[in-house]
Chain A
Amino acid sequence: MIRHLLSAADLDAATATQILDTAAEMATVAGREVKKLPALRGRTVVNLFYEDSTRTRISFEAAAKRLSADVINFSAKGSSVTKGESLKDTALTLQAMGADAVVVRHPASGAPHRLADWVDGSVVNAGDGTHEHPTQALLDAYTMRSRLGRLAGLHVAVVGDVLHSRVARSNVLLLSTLGAKVTLVGPPTLIPVDIAAALAPGTDVSYDLDVVLPDVDVVMMLRVQRERMKDSYFPSAREYARRYGLDGPRMRRLPEHAIVMHPGPMNRGMEITPEVADSPRSTIVEQVANGVSVRMAVLYLLLGGNKL
């Protein structure tokens, strides 16, 4: 069993599948009158968030509490290089509090890796900079598997600002581990260099969404910040939406069974129209619910046994 979850690359197919299977059992708890399991009684989980992300934080918080862990929320937002405590000093503080796991969200890529060097407990990456967000990829995979029945052989299009997306990186890694094929779609300015070599050979890149859509089982729309146009990644929000946004006519190019995913929060009218976001193909609300189950599975598998 792994000690930390820093990257989706930490998971081999067997471990990833075990997490998804465990999450399926955890999901049954949500339908019970007593939404609680005693497995992590007496364990302390610290949510260390250097960025605002209420949805991710409460998802981890709900997951830890349903497993009976004690949860400490440590909002370190506003800490910067020049003011406030260093990450290392914070790590030593958490260590002194007896944190069994630290769930960390940080604007700097690799911060969870650094943290893992400084604490004894498990570190879970809840999103670091433009690097990774492995539990998002797990909940996406869980959602695909429950909607489509399998992951191996699926063709998944990940559309939008891949360059700045930690969700995209983790999804490419995890989906390829689990036998799905990924095509990244976006303007060339937002596709990072050497992406297939960097993450998973066999990953395709396309600049034309319309060509890709009829051939996919899943289309995952990434959030695109309007501010990117200031850095000339694309000329305008209108042009972006026209070329890479998912609207009703585009959605109808998808095969009958295909689903539409979005990690949230959405920019309605930018990368996705309300018609698509609210359609039966959309799994956006399910993804949120599945997030709790998957994070329960991750916390249980990291903390449920003895220390490694």
Chain B
Amino acid sequence: MAYPSAAHPSPPRQPSVKVILTAADVSRVVDRIAHQILEKTQGAADTVLLGIPTRGAPLARRLAARISTFEDVAVPVGVLDITLYRDDLRRNATRAVGPTQLPPGGIDGKRVVLVDDVLFSGRTVRAALDALGDVGRPASVQLAVLVDRGHRQLPIRADYVGKNIPTALAESVRVTLAETDGADEVRLYGEALPS
């Protein structure tokens, strides 16, 4: 919208916004994680990528696409919905349940790489580990995230990190991706955003 109108007055105060990763940065970071996965998993053998909705799912698909470009390996990709495993269900209105899609070969005995956009408290990953245990028995589980912003509340760390961003607790990190939001970008906001 080019001109502010009376119906949509400009906010009284611009929250401070900083672009942490541009679209080009995101692309480079995804490439690097793909390389790291190949390196740490001996060519992605017996490896499955499971994206955590919302934005972990397209990230997992991108990683699989990059891996296939770099090494000509087809890594199975799936989606792991963690809604029913969250520990904050009762603090909010009922959350819609999303689909869980495991690749045709399943995850039993595989190396599962969980993929998410932002690693923060670690609670999402904890829920994902619980969900994983109910859908199968992987040989091992790793974690790949686009951004690690710190402030962990659980003993969880990522195996692959696109970018570490030191943040204050009150700040917010917002990832947008072309598939879900129209464009790739990572921003840091000076205040809490509605989740």
Q: Do A and B come from one complex?
A: yes
Query: A residues engaging B (CB < 8 A)?
Result: 1, 18, 21-22, 24-26, 28, 32-34, 36-39, 67, 300-302, 304-306
Q: How far is the CA of A36 from the CA of B131 in the complex (A)?
A: 10
Most A-side CB within 10 Å, residue of B89, B133, B135: B89
A33 nearest CB neighbor, chain B only: B136
Please tell me if B13 contacts chain A, counting CB pairs below 8 Å: no
Q: How far is the CA of A36 from the CA of B96 in the complex (A)?
A: 18
B93 close to A38 (CB less than 8 A)? no
> Which B residues touch A302, using CB under 8 A?
94
Most A-side CB within 10 Å, residue of B90, B92, B97: B97
> Which A residues touch B85, using CB under 8 A?
37-39
Please tell me if B71 contacts chain A, counting CB pairs below 8 Å: no
Contacts of B44-100 to chain A: CB distance below 8 A: 81, 83-85, 89-100
A32 close to B134 (CB less than 8 A)? yes
- 20 A-B residue pairs with Cβ-Cβ distance under 8 Å, sorted by A, are A1-B93, A21-B96, A22-B97, A25-B98, A25-B100, A32-B134, A33-B136, A34-B133, A36-B134, A37-B84, A37-B85, A38-B130, A300-B94, A301-B94, A302-B94, A304-B89, A305-B93, A305-B95, A306-B90, A306-B92
Q: How far is the CA of A217 from the CA of B177 in the complex (A)?
A: 42
Partner of B93, one of A26, A37, A300, A306: A306
> Which A residues touch B89, using CB under 8 A?
39, 304-305
Partner of B94, one of A32, A67, A304: A304
> Which A residues touch B96, using CB under 8 A?
18, 21-22
Shortest CB distance B130–A (Å): 7
B90 nearest CB neighbor, chain A only: A306
B108 nearest CB neighbor, chain A only: A33
Beyond the given pairs A39-B84, A67-B84, 6 more chain A to chain B contacts, judged by CB atoms under 8 angstroms and listed by A's residue number, are A21-B97, A25-B98, A38-B85, A305-B93, A306-B90, A306-B92
B90 close to A305 (CB less than 8 A)? yes
Q: How far is the CA of A34 from the CA of B134 in the complex (A)?
A: 5
B127 nearest CB neighbor, chain A only: A38
> Which A residues touch B92, using CB under 8 A?
305-306
> Which B residues touch A300, using CB under 8 A?
84, 94, 97
Q: How far is the CA of A18 from the CA of B133 in the complex (A)?
A: 26
With contact pairs A39-B89, A300-B84, A305-B89 given, residues A1 and B94 touching in the complex (Cβ less than 8 Å): yes
Partner of A25, one of B90, B97, B133, B135: B97
Partner of A28, one of B83, B91, B94, B100: B100
With contact pairs A22-B96, A300-B97, A305-B90 given, residues A32 and B84 touching in the complex (Cβ less than 8 Å): no
Q: How far is the CA of A36 from the CA of B85 in the complex (A)?
A: 11
Q: How far is the CA of A21 from the CA of B97 in the complex (A)?
A: 8
Most B-side CB within 10 Å, residue of A18, A22, A26, A304: A304
Shortest CB distance B147–A (Å): 28
A41 nearest CB neighbor, chain B only: B89
> Which B residues touch A28, using CB under 8 A?
100
Q: How far is the CA of A67 from the CA of B93 in the complex (A)?
A: 17
Shortest CB distance B91–A (Å): 6
Q: How far is the CA of A33 from the CA of B81 in the complex (A)?
A: 17
A38 close to B84 (CB less than 8 A)? yes
Q: How far is the CA of A256 from the CA of B90 in the complex (A)?
A: 47
Shortest CB distance B128–A (Å): 13
Q: How far is the CA of A124 from the CA of B51 in the complex (A)?
A: 35
> Which B residues touch A36, using CB under 8 A?
134
Q: How far is the CA of A18 from the CA of B99 in the complex (A)?
A: 12
Q: How far is the CA of A300 from the CA of B96 in the complex (A)?
A: 10
> Which B residues touch A32, using CB under 8 A?
134-135
Shortest CB distance A83–B (Å): 40
> Which B residues touch A67, using CB under 8 A?
84
A67 nearest CB neighbor, chain B only: B84
> Which A residues touch B94, using CB under 8 A?
1, 300-302, 304-305
B99 close to A25 (CB less than 8 A)? yes
A interface footprint on B2-33 (CB within 8 Å = 1, 0 otherwise): 00000000000000000000000000000000
Q: How far is the CA of A21 from the CA of B89 in the complex (A)?
A: 19
Shortest CB distance A31–B (Å): 10
A43 nearest CB neighbor, chain B only: B90
